[in-house]
Amino acid sequence: MKWPTWGQWYQRVLGLIALSCMIWALSAVSACVSVPVPATDLVSKGREIFFNETFNGNGRTCGTCHPAQNNLVLDPAFIATLPPTDPLFVAEFNPDLKKNFENPKLMRQFGLILENLDGFDDLENKFVMRGVPHVLAQRTSVNSNQGPRTGWSGDGAPGDGSLRSFATGAVIQHFTKTLNRVSGVDFRLPTEEELDAIEAFMLSLGRQQDLTLPLPLKGIVAKRGQDIFLDNQLGKCNLCHVNAGATANFGAGNIGNANFNTGVEDLPDQPADLTGEKNPPDDGFGRPGDGTFNTPPLVEAADSGPFFHNNAIETIEGAVAFYDGKAFNNSPAGRALAAADPNQVGIELDGTQIVAIAAFLRVLNALENIRQSLELLESGAKTSFGERAEDRERIKRAVSETQDSIKVLENGGLHPDAVTHLLKAKESAEKAHSSLFRRRALVQQAVDELRNARTQLIEVS
């Protein structure tokens, strides 16, 4: 066997360099192709539409108000990061939408969106300002014995009122180029196929089933919070949020999602009112409204505030404390609870109990974040080289979910041991996101750390 000459060595080295360059180039190209992933099925088609389709309107997409990178909700902190040209702010730069389309001040300060739920005949005076709810766990949250309930008051969708029809109403309300709202001129309505795809995508988001409480939690405060949550004589939370979801059960079986008048509208010193901006009362379900709003799921609550239909309360502790206050206990729902209580008490909690329930909700939220992160990372392990862009997108979402779990626990002063593991998981996942050759090993490290974190929060069998 002859040793290669210097010239042959040179050629081989050049060849190796060329091959490496090709691999890096392929990697770079696939990295540039982030969302959307190719529309290979109804869910990915729905995802593509949800985040990219403007329906020939003012530039907004569903993702404008439900951004993937912010738990599918809007809050003032996220809004502050957007450029002034973002279509969310269309009322600030489109002269046709300058008046009576949004209130930029309330949007930027409190994440509030203008809705004309009682009709479009008096735009100056007939509107309400509402927060943007997350759209996670829709599969467990929308159905009721009377039919689907969408949006904050259960009547968010035109047509048959279903989740599938919701996008049609959203396009008319939020995507229009002018206040004339003429179909085919100011926007186009979603097609039947698009509605199918959007619905499939929305149903795929987050939890696909409700939890079964109680969970074997390890933290003593969160565990006590769970006990109070489930106690129908004390916290009474589980009556309207069965298993911390969005369905109700008063003892005669689960009735699905339900509407209640809980008195949120009667809260004093609501942030939006303090600005002096016009902020008409919100009459909730129906036209005219009956004052009721439907229950959102609580598992995802802690990292998706502000809370209630009007973003009236910023923190999860404040949201729990609301039920101990006058506004709730004087409301139809509060009075009904009191009427059924042996001591004629609606909900009466002390500070430590309020914090305990909030701690429980924080831990539930962190567990859900961890579940989603694991699901995203583990599904990436099965992908081929050609699906790298999709895999990177999943890793990115897992990093975001893990970050949420860290924030949710840290802000409640909970489980610093779990937070340490979550920080390591996040670091490994971030490295995996940018790594070409060690991606799988780094993903595995992140998965291991997420599992370690979970074992700090809950007994794992």
Partner 1 sequence: MLHRHLTLAIIILSLGWGLDAFGQQATEMFIPLGQSPGLSKGGSVIGTLESMDPEKHSVTVVSLSGAQTVGITDRTMIWLDLSQQKQPNRNGAINDLQQGRRVEVKVRKGDPKAVAEWIKVQVSP
Minimum distance from residue 422 beta carbon to partner 1 (Å): 39
Minimum distance from residue 305 beta carbon to partner 1 (Å): 24
- Please identify which residue in 61, 64, 71, 292 interacts with partner 1, judged by CB under 8 A: 292
Long-range contacts of 436-439 (CB under 8 A, 24+ apart): 436/23, 436/24, 436/27, 439/391
CB-wise, 213 or 340, nearer to partner 1? Answer: 340
Minimum distance from residue 159 beta carbon to partner 1 (Å): 4
Encoded one letter per residue, x for contact with partner 1 by CB under 8 A and - for no contact, window 100-139 reads ----------------xxxxxx------------------
CB-wise, 121 or 459, nearer to partner 1? Answer: 121
Question: Does 330 contact partner 1 by CB under 8 A?
Answer: no
Burial of 440 (0-12, 13-18, 19+ CB in 10 A): middle
Q: Compute φ and ψ for 208, nearest 5 degrees.
A: -105, -10
Encoded one letter per residue, x for contact with partner 1 by CB under 8 A and - for no contact, window 183-212 reads xxx---xx-x--x-----------------
The stretch near partner 1 (CB under 8 A) out of 4-12, 200-208, 328-336, 343-351 is 328-336
Encoded one letter per residue, x for contact with partner 1 by CB under 8 A and - for no contact, window 135-174 reads -----------xxxxxx-xxxxxxxxxx-xx--xx--xx-
Closest CA to 396 of 371, 430, 420: 430
Question: Does 256 contact partner 1 by CB under 8 A?
Answer: no
Question: Does 239 contact partner 1 by CB under 8 A?
Answer: yes
- Please identify which residue in 31, 78, 96, 181 interacts with partner 1, judged by CB under 8 A: 181
Question: Does 287 contact partner 1 by CB under 8 A?
Answer: yes
- Please identify which residue in 86, 290, 375, 427 interacts with partner 1, judged by CB under 8 A: 290
- Please identify which residue in 49, 137, 217, 258 interacts with partner 1, judged by CB under 8 A: 258
In the complex, which residues of this chain contact partner 1 (CB under 8 A)? 116-121, 146-151, 153-162, 164-165, 168-169, 172-173, 180-185, 189-190, 192, 195, 232, 239, 250-252, 255, 258-262, 284-287, 290, 292, 332-333, 335-337, 339-340
